[in-house]
Each structure stands twice: as C-alpha cells, then as structure tokens.
Chains A and B, each alone.
Chain A
Amino acid sequence: MPVTETRREHETAAPARARPAGRARTTWPRHRARAAALLWVLPAVILVAGVVHVGIAYNAAVGTTEWNGISPTRLPVGFDNYVAMARDDVFLAALRNTAVYGVAIIVLQLSLGLGLAVLVRTQTRGRHLLRVLVFVPVVLSPAIIATSARHVLDHDGALNAALDAIGLGSLAQPWLANPTTALATLVAITVWQYTGYSFVIYDAAIAQVDEATLEAAQIDGAGNARMFTAVILPSLRGSHLVLIVLTAINALKTFDLVILTTGGGPGMSTEMLTLHVYEQTIVRFHAGYGAALSMVLVIIALVFAVLQVRLSHVREA
C-alpha cells in the first residue's frame, strides 16, 4: 500500500511546486493547508535531525581530527583516523567478531524459531505453554540477562555445578573466560533470549497459511513433511527476509551483553564494534578516533535501514 500512497504523493506534490505564479490566487488555500501539514511532521523532524543527523555530522567532523574530547583545540588530521583503522587489530577483530556473531545468531535464531513454530502445530502436550514461555526472555533486559548469565556461567557457577552433578564435570569450564568458547557462549545467550522473537514471526506467518490449501494437499495424499516443504515453506520467504534484517540490526547494536559479561575479552575474542567505539571514546579519550569508528557503524546501520524500509514496502505491495 505505501507504493500507491507514494505515487499519489508525487502526483500532487509536483504540480504544486510547478504551478505558475499567475494562478497563485486559486491555489493559495490548498498550498497553505499543505504547508500547515508540515507542522505535524516538524516535531519528529526536529527531534531526529537534531540528535541523529546533527550527531552524525558531528562525528564526521570530529572523525577527521585528533582530539581527547575535552580540550578546546582539535588537531586536523584528514583521513588519518580511517587509515589507522586498517592497522588497528582490535577494530579488525571487532569487525570479524560482529560478523561471525551476526551470522551465527541469524542462522540459529531463524532455524530454531522455525522449528519451534512447526512444533507448536503438532498435537503435543505443553505446546500452548511453550508458545507463551518462549517469548518471556525477549521482553527482559539484556543488561539483566547479561549479569545473571555472567555468574551462572562462571567457573564456579551454577552451570558447571549442574554439569558436575550429572557426571559431565569434564565439560565444565569458565565459559566466558575461555577465548575459544567466549564468543560461542555469547551467541548461545543471545539465541536463548531472542529465538522467541523469530518463533513469533514464523508462528504468525504459518497461521496465515490457507487452511483450504492444506486440506487439499492432505486429500492429495501429502504427508506432513511434504506439506511443510510444498505448502508452508514457500509462504515464509517474507518472514525470513524480515528476520534476517532485524537480527542483523540487533547484532550490530549488541553492547550491553558484551560489556557486562566479557568486556570484549579474553584477549580480543569477543570485541565488538560498539564496544570499541565506547572504549576508545570514553575510556581512552580518543574522541577523534571514536568518532571515525562511529562513522563505520553509521554506514553499516544505514545499509540495514534502507533494506528494512524497502522490505516493509515489498511486503505491502
């Protein structure tokens, strides 16, 4: 629907601008009404432009200087900050970790969410309870989950105690303090928290599948597996796309979980882009470099935002 709405807008917007001055008298009330309509949009524009756009412009300006964030003078250094990124091991690790983490949570949350959405359609006991409970972690604060997880997954935490109790003590380890398991553990915590989200999206999409089509397939002798691959899966393409973009955005935004569990360590094994920006700017007073790093975040976020806006149109059309 936004597609038609946009077209309508272009049709009316263009003539209003192009109208010759001689006809101003007849168009004046209309023109004024449309100008007044801008007042409704203004607060949103002021808010977003004043914080987001001005903030990005400020980042772009500060990003070309060397500055500690406090002193009254900034040393212009051109694109040196961006050149420095190529040699910044922490930045490269952060880029790699963010990508790995993003891909991992996309794959796991989508496949587990879809699996659960299929599971609640079987005639099993507890499926209604599952539908309600699996979403509980989604509404909780990542900061709270992070502090709880940090202690539960500690070397003398509850998970290792439980492993010991069931005779799997050899698997016990400091999950978040071991460089080989730390990133995977963060993935696991995230997947635990947010699979409920992809579940809900798939659950709603499957509910939209036409009952008549399913019945017809059944009468034609299609088994459950065939019904899934031939009828249900093809109807989920839009859901996959939406979830991939939203989950990627969440991966990019991840900050609370990491700073409150590993702080990016051990070593650089769980370093993320957001964490690097925070650390350079606030902890090390490298505001110039921090601003340049922020611009990298801005550009990646912009790509995802454009994708999301496009998807919301594709689905409506």
Chain B
Amino acid sequence: MFRYQSIASRVVSQVLVVLALLVVIVPLGLVLKESLAGAGWRNYTEVLTGTPFLRFFLNSLIISASTVAVVTTVAMAAAYGLVMLRAPFGRTSQVAVIAGLALPAVALTVPLFVTIQRLGLFDSPLAVIVPLCALSVPFGLLVGRNFLAGIPGEIHEAARLDGAGTVTIFVRVVAPLARPIIAVIVIFTFLAAWNEYFLPLLLLQDSSAQVITQVPTYFQSERQVDLPKVFAANVLISLPIIAVYLVLQRQIRAGFVAGAIK
C-alpha cells in the first residue's frame, strides 16, 4: 500500500518493525531460557514424568472437547431454528440469551459454588463444562444467527420442497454451508475452554481433577517454588496451542475477524 516512501521514513519503518518483533519475541525467549535453567532439558522430562502434568492435560482435553461439541451443536441448532425455521422467539428473548456474552464467569461465583456444592459435583468435569457451555453459547448463537441470516432463504425452501425434513436439511444443507462460521465457533470456544482458569479454580480442587491452567499454581503449592519447572510447564502448555496457531494461522486470524465483526 505504501509503496513509495522517502528514504528516511523507510528507515524509520524498518526500525519499528524490528522493534515490534523484538517486543514480541524477547519475552517468549526469556521464558524458554528460564525453563532450561539448572537441569536443562531434564526440567521438561521431570515435569512430564514426575508430576500429574499428563493427567491435567487430559482433563483439559476432556473439558474443552465436550464444551466445543455442545456449544457448536446447540448454538448452530438455535441459529437454524431462529433464522431458517423462524421459531416464534421474540427479539427481546433473543437479546436476553445473547446478552450472556459479556458476562464474566466471576459474576456467577455465588450461584455456581452453592449449586455445585449441593449437587456434590466438586471435582467433576461437568461442574466446569456446564457453566462454560452456558457462557459460550451466546457468542456462538450471535455469530451463527448473523451468518445464517446472510444465506438466501430459497436454498432452505428448495430443500423443503424436495421433501427433506428439518434434521436432514440442518445436517446436509445448512452445516456444510455454515462451515466457515462453525470453524469460528470451534476455534473461539476451544481457546476459551482450554485457557479458562476461574471455573477450575472455583470448582476443581482435587489435583486428579485439575486442568492445565492450574499447573503453575500446583507447582507453587506442592513443592517449594521450583522456577525452572514452572517455566518448563508453561512452555509445554503453550506449545500445542502455538503449533496449532502456526499451522492454521490464516484461518484463525480470519476467524477472529469474523467473530468480532459479525
């Protein structure tokens, strides 16, 4: 876009680009360096074998995968019902459901804590999955609804005239058409669930039930703070996410744009 720049502004731009790169990379490099302090790579093998790290990883995976499956299905089904089947569900009610998207989970501390306690569900993955789903569905519904509203109604009518039932249309026609927005919902929901810290802190107390974001605090409580291992654990937690991002970076950035604007 700015193809013609004076020499001076070219130099300034170049310096700024290098500076920006350093600001991003140096802190990440520092964490990597700290994780190798003392025992070197042994810090990593010890985190993997000497701690319940893999258990935490698995718990995170269970919670995130369930949340993604539920949120994507429930939100897309609701969007389909509202937009294409024109469910008699008023505008105010729709906003009341979607309004959940700005609510911090912390605002539900009292009801969640009391309910989970009464149901005896502490340390069950369900205790985290259900509220996570409830707080993630509004976003999925908002973007799903806006996306489906952009698909011509004739496609739906045509499938109907061919005698297809609503379930068939949803699975065979709507879902393939909505693939881009489904990808957005999957990415957003997965990141939100994988990175969630508050709900596990509140509801998962036994270390066999805890998740990956609780690993650093686990280290601080179980033994004297063993800094290199905390950093090694942080690197191990972040690597899968960074790897997925680097592979799918274009789609993920495009997804975030679609998620913000629609």
Contacts and interface: CB of A to CB of B under 8 A. Distances in A.
Contact of A1 (B91, B131, B150): B150
A132 interface: yes
A133 B21 contact: yes
B94 to A, nearest CB: 9
B23 interface: yes
Interface string B27-61: 11011011000000000000000000000000000
B173 interface: no
Contacts of B104: 252-253, 255, 274, 297, 301
A18 interface: no
A35 B87 CA distance: 7
B2 A126 contact: no
Given A37-B86, A224-B9, A260-B217, A5 B149 contact: yes
B165 to A, nearest CB: 10
Interface string A260-281: 1000000000000010011001
Interface string A13-56: 10011000000000000000111111111011101111111111
Which of A13, A48, A133, A242 gathers most chain B CB within 10 Å? A48
Contacts of B90: 13
Interface in A218-264: 224, 227, 238, 242-243, 246, 249, 252-253, 255-256, 259-260
B126 interface: no
Contacts of B230: 147, 151
Which of B1, B16, B34, B87 gathers most chain A CB within 10 Å? B1
A204 B257 contact: yes
B234 interface: yes
B98 A126 contact: no
A116 B20 contact: yes
Interface in A290-317: 290-291, 294, 297-298, 301-302, 304-306, 308-309, 312, 315-316
A163 interface: no
Contacts of B194: 141
Given A53-B96, A132-B246, A304 B102 contact: yes
A301 B107 contact: yes
A224 B241 contact: no
B149 A41 contact: no
B228 to A, nearest CB: 10
A230 B133 CA distance: 44
A179 interface: no
Contacts of B109: 277-278, 281-282, 290, 294
A140 B241 contact: yes
Interface of A: 1-2, 5-6, 8-10, 12-13, 16-17, 33-41, 43-45, 47-56, 58-59, 62, 69, 115-116, 118-127, 129-130, 132-144, 147-149, 151-152, 158, 192, 197, 200-201, 204, 206, 214, 224, 227, 238, 242-243, 246, 249, 252-253, 255-256, 259-260, 274, 277-278, 281-282, 287, 290-291, 294, 297-298, 301-302, 304-306, 308-309, 312, 315-316
6 contacts: A2-B149, A12-B86, A141-B212, A260-B216, A278-B106, A297-B104
Interface of B: 1-5, 9-10, 13-14, 16-18, 20-21, 23-25, 27-28, 30-31, 33-34, 73-75, 77-78, 80-83, 85-91, 93, 95-114, 130-131, 133-135, 137-138, 141-142, 145-146, 149-150, 166, 170, 191, 194-195, 197-198, 201-202, 212-214, 216-217, 227, 230-231, 234, 237-238, 241-242, 245-246, 249, 252-254, 256-257, 260-262
